Amino acid sequence: MDDTRIPIMRPFLPDTETLIPYLRRIDNNRWYSNYGPLCHELEERLAEHWSVKTTHVLSLSNATQALSIALWSVEAPAGSLCLMPSWSFVATAHAARQVGFTPFLTDVDANSAALTPDIAFASLKRAPSPVGAVIVVCPFGAPVPWEDWADFQQRTGIPVIIDAAAAFDTVQPGPVPTVVSLHATKVFPAGEGAILMCTNDDVVEQARRRANFGFLGDHHSRCHATNAKMSEYHAAVGLASLDAWPANRRRWQSALNQMRQACAQAGLADWPQGLGETYVCSSPTIRSAAASHLISGLQSDGIEARRWWQGGIASHEAFNQVPRLALPVTEQLAATTLALPCWLDIDPQSISRVAASLKRHAHPD
């Protein structure tokens, strides 16, 4: 048996030759940061990709900073609670805490694994103190009901932020600020970085100021702020990734559909709806009552598998004192969800090994 270890993922970024034209432009411009021409071009091209105005798109240094800046930019009351699902990566909670909010953890819908407006409405009634903002998470790149969240924001007057870190391919423009990660592990990578998108010009302008020491058009700082601007080098990688996006999306679809077939061959049918067909994501997950056994079995066969979000935010020591409601669905998801290996150019031999290992370990006696 092949004893080469299969990793959970292998990031795929534009190669040197692809980047050279953009790097030469940086050399010629001698402009390396501070909203340079490549950052502006990336914003313009992504605005065209999403069919929004350029003023609706902002490039930033990373998604955690972008979430914090979004909370600042909607002028949610600092010191209040920020309602969010416990079923998320810890960056969601860190982003709220670092700009003065207390994470308030709630459960998610059992089918979508996401926070829903109905759950949020019910959670507001049980909050121990005022809720000043809500962060919604797109679980592993899956879409959320964008229009319903815009309606929730309008009805309650509570600002909503969507953490769409892995959801580049499912984002829908709207008045709710949405953050997409461009980390090296994502399907649309810039090495590191993020995009904040919102059809409210004022929110994006405020975010641009907040990401630049409070400056906008002059050098007078007028608000709490930080430095979260994307560098020209990361913008160069993002532009090269955008050049390749149509072809790379097709390659992601192929890789994901091969992994879906591997799961089906093992009798594991709980594949995320639409993944590999209507959208792509770099972190495919499945649910199985035998998740722990599967992870151990795969690892014994030299195949990395893991629980991306462990037990959710509430399971981490950094957040064991924050307020939360009962989390039965989150606990069930933590016990049954596992991430499988997948990357853009995964080879047939690796797929075959994963399929054989899944089939061998899927149904323990």
Q: Over the chain, what is the mean pLDDT?
A: 96
State the pLDDT confidence band at 348, using cuts at 50, 70 and 90. Answer: very high
In sequence order, what are the beta bridge partners of 179? 163, 196
Interval 40-49 mean pLDDT: 98
Check if the beta carbon of residue 136 is closer than 8 Å to that of residue 161: yes
pLDDT of 3: 66
Say what the pLDDT of residue 50 is: 97
CA 157 to chain centre: 25
Query: What average pLDDT does this structure show over 106-113?
Result: 98
What's the mean pLDDT in 85-100?
98
Question: Which tens digits make up the pLDDT trace of 123-175?
Answer: 999 999 999 999 999 999 999 999 999 999 999 999 999 999 999 999 999 99
The confidence score (pLDDT) of residue 78 equals 86
**What does the alpha-carbon distance between residue 141 and residue 139 come to, in Å, rounded to a whole number?**
5
Question: Given a cut of 80, is residue 364 above it in pLDDT?
Answer: no
> Could you give all domains of the chain from N- to C-terminal order, each with its CATH number?
16-239 (3.40.640.10), 245-361 (3.90.1150.10)
pLDDT at 100 over 90: yes
With cut-offs at 50, 70 and 90, classify the pLDDT of residue 2: low
The neighbouring-strand residues paired with 102 are 81
The pLDDT tens digits of the residues spanning 274-314 come to 999 999 999 999 999 999 999 999 999 999 999 999 999 99
Percentage of the chain lying above the pLDDT 70 cut? 99
Q: How far apart are the C-alpha atoms of 47 and 32, rounded to whole Å? A: 22
- As a whole number, mean pLDDT of residues 25-44 equals 97
What integer pLDDT is reported at residue 123 of this predicted model? Answer: 98
pLDDT band, residue 269 (cuts 50/70/90): confident
| 116 dihedral zone (left: phi>0; alpha: psi -120 to 50; beta) | beta
Q: How far apart (Å, rounded) are the C-alpha atoms in residues 279 and 201?
A: 28
Q: Say if residue 363's pLDDT is above 80.
A: no
Residue 43 has pLDDT above 50, yes or no: yes
1 pLDDT more than 50: no
Give the strands of the sheet with 194-197, arranged side by side: 57-60, 194-197, 178-181, 160-163, 131-137, 81-85, 102-106
Q: With bands split at pLDDT 50, 70 and 90, how would you rate the model's confidence at 365?
A: low
In contact, 89 and 311? CB cutoff 8 Å: no
List Cβ neighbours of 40 (8 Å cut-off, separation of 6 or more): none
Place of tokens 């992601």: 252
